[in-house]
Amino acid sequence: MMKKRILRGFRMWQRNVDVFKSHYMASIIGNIGEPILYLFGFGAGLGALVKNAGGVSYMEFIAPGMMAAAAMNAAAFECTFGAYTRMAEQKVYEGILATPLSVEDIVLGEILWGATKGLMSSLIMLVILMLFGLFDKYAEIPLIALNMAALGLAISSLTMCVTAISSSYETFNYYFTMFLTPMMLFTGIYFPTEQLPKWFSSAFLLFPTAHAVNINRYLFHGGSASMPILGAVFMGVFIPFGIWLSTRMVKKRLIPAP
Amino acid sequence: MAIVEAKNLQRNFGPFCAVDGIGFAIEEGECFGFLGPNGAGKSTTVHMVQGLLPRSGGSLRVLGMDIGRQADRIKSALGVVSQENNLDRDLTVRQNLLTYARYFEMPHKEAQRRADELLVFLQLDAKQGEKLSSLSGGMQRRLAIARALINGPRLLLLDEPTTGLDPQARHLIWRRLNLLKKQKITTILTTHYMEEAERLCDRVAIMNGGKILMEGRPAQLIADVIGQEVIELHVEEEQRQQALDHVRELGVNFEIHGDTIYIYGDGPGLVPSLLGIGHKSVLHRKATLEDLFLKLAGRTLVE
């Protein structure tokens, strides 16, 4: 049963890969261009003002968080605009539901694909960080990639819940303003969360990005392992729950109960 | 054994009852039509047969299995052409077929071979590398039919396959569907074109307001309810009352829709007896399913 589900989810994933292959250049160029702009803007511009960020240069400080931000944004973009277009505008899901695939398979495939896009974006970011001399712990690459894939799965499943109840592209503004931008600002990507009131930064531990940033920073710079371990446990619970909930919500939208 | 068998099948959407306790049995190799206006419950019925919508009540067996329990096994033997265009617009014509074949776990070589055959059969081989945006409405509908046939289905569901197409495109699709009919693929067709149902269907069920009003062979139904012939009498407003009085005196079976009086009958004796009625024009023709439908549903039809 489980094997069948994963195989069928993989078929949906393959469909998205095929489409991606026909326009991957545009996507990759965007993926390379953006990190360079961010690194230059924040690193060279803002970094000149910030002399010391927890014992490392500012560029070094933001490097692990920038990877997480890249994974988060790519996964969220794919599972909002991409998935919504397929579901509501193009009725691709409806076409696929006439085959042996079920809503469960489709949602799993979409989440796997969102995570794949997230992983790709973060790995491109990693290559650029290497070129800037901001990363040299090659032995940690498999764990970093695993962390980014997990973040991709977590964000994709959270995002699919939003897409399931969206009535138009405009609805995504709520999601971006209320979830993504706060996660971008307050999960330790650009500055240590110790700068914030304790209750405020603790609240963000309910969101996967905070944990992915903690884990990545640990893999980049070392330090205490307690927060990264909490993060791994969090991901282990959040991802299955997110997949379950988003599947339920998409099902409710596509297949009205009798 | 019936390929599809429904008993007291029901589907509600909140307080609205879209399908209201219908029953039917479709035999192997048969083309069965659901006829009716928009909102009659045809598409809802098809959506239940394909396992897209769970039923609210009654029983529904497809290919001998319960659609609620064995949906994926049933769906692997179905071909569906939806009313709404849900082709994959991100893919080319050929990719649409190959990607679909993959959902059915068809080996790649076999999928290529089937795609080649179907592209020729539906006259799309010259377009196979193109994106869908360069295809006309008729071509897209043909591609939807090709896609529905990719898995070699035992049961084909066609939900308004020619709605919105120009006559030429419609005739091309009818010719293809007639060829499929010769291959004895069991087919369910919904339509609001009576001509389509008469050409393609072995049996039809006429639906309105979620119920089946009548079911049987098209020719037999027409003969039973309407008769062999129809006279359409177009009359001016001022002549209308007089015409009606005259028709009533004749004691024939008739209906009024707009400025037309439809008179039904069997013998050629109808025409002379009408000559005394003042009229704009008169049309004497063979009775069709449309007459039957208007007679059954016409007066209750809500726009």
CA distance B49 to B75: 10
Which of B117-131, B164-178, B259-273 is predicted with the least confidence, judged by mean pLDDT?
B259-273
Nearest CA in chain B to A89: B86
8 A C-beta contact, residue A94 and residue A254: yes
Residues of A in contact with B159 (CB under 8 A): none
Query: In this predicted model, what pLDDT tens digit does every residue of A53-93 receive, in sequence order?
Result: 778 888 899 999 999 999 999 999 999 999 999 999 999 99
Please tell me if residue A91 touches chain B, with a CB cutoff of 8 Å: yes
DSSP A91-135: -HHHHHTTSS--HHHHHHHHHHHHHHHHHHHHHHHHHHHHHTT--
CA distance B126 to B114: 16
The proportion of chain B whose per-residue pLDDT surpasses 70, expressed as a percent, equals 92
pLDDT at position B274 is 65
Q: Which of residues 93-122 of A touch B (CB under 8 A)?
A: 94-102
CB nearest to A14's CB, from B55, B102, B151: B102
pLDDT at position B234 is 82
What is the band of A234 on the pLDDT scale with cuts at 50, 70, 90? very high
CA distance A63 to A130: 10
Chain A nearest C-alpha distance from B62 (Å): 14
Higher pLDDT, B251 or B65: B65
The proportion of chain A whose per-residue pLDDT surpasses 90, expressed as a percent, equals 77
Nearest CA in chain A to B91: A19
User: Do A256 and B52 count as a contact with CB atoms less than 8 A apart?
Assistant: no
Query: In this predicted model, what pLDDT tens digit does every residue of A166-194 receive, in sequence order?
Result: 999 999 999 999 999 999 999 999 888 98
Chain B nearest C-alpha distance from A68 (Å): 29
User: Do A92 and B88 count as a contact with CB atoms less than 8 A apart?
Assistant: yes
pLDDT at position B303 is 41
Flag whether pLDDT at B269 surpasses 70: no
Which residue of A99, A105, A110 is the best one to mutate when testing the B interface, meaning the one whose CB has the most B CBs within 10 A? A99
DSSP A20-52: HHTTHHHHHHHHHHHHHHHIIIIIIIITTT---
What is the band of B267 on the pLDDT scale with cuts at 50, 70, 90? low
Rounded to 10 deg, the angle between the A226-254 and A103-131 helix axes is 140
Query: In this predicted model, what pLDDT tens digit does every residue of B20-58 receive, in sequence order?
Result: 999 999 999 999 999 988 889 999 999 999 999 999 999
- Both tokens of B96, joined, read 């649409």
CA distance A28 to A241: 31
User: Do B102 and A102 count as a contact with CB atoms less than 8 A apart?
Assistant: no
User: Do A99 and B100 count as a contact with CB atoms less than 8 A apart?
Assistant: yes
User: Do B90 and A257 count as a contact with CB atoms less than 8 A apart?
Assistant: no
pTM of the model: 0.91
CB nearest to A98's CB, from B13, B75, B99: B75
